[in-house]
Amino acid sequence: MMTKSHVVLLALLALLIIVGSVGYWGYCAYWKTYHGYDPKPFSPAAWAAADAGTRGHMVVDLLAQHPLKGLTTQEVVDLLGPPDWQDTDKDTGRTSTITYEVGYMGYNPKALMVFSYRLTLEFGDDGTVREANVLD
The DSSP string of 59-79 is HHHHHHHS--TT-BHHHHHHH
Q: Quick one: pLDDT at residue 4?
A: 83
- Where residue 113 falls among pLDDT bands split at 50, 70, 90? low
Q: Which residue type sits at 2?
A: M
Per-residue pLDDT tens over the stretch 2-59 = 788 888 888 888 888 888 877 776 665 655 555 667 889 999 999 999 998 889 889 9
pLDDT at 101: 94
Which amino acid, one-letter code, is at 118? R
Does the domain made of 44-135 have the CATH classification 3.40.50?
A: no
Q: Which residues neighbour 124 within 8 Å (Cβ) at sequence distance 6 or greater?
A: 130
For residue 95, what pLDDT is reported?
92
Residues 68 and 64: their CA atoms lie apart, in Å, by: 9
pLDDT value of residue 13 = 85
Q: Is the pLDDT of residue 60 over 80?
A: yes
Strands of the sheet containing 129-135, edge to edge, are 85-88, 95-103, 117-123, 129-135
Q: What phi and psi values does residue 43 have, to the nearest 5 degrees?
A: -145, 145
pTM over 0.85: no
Segment (H or E) for 133:
strand 129-135
- The mean-pLDDT minimum among 33-42, 67-76, 122-131 falls in 33-42
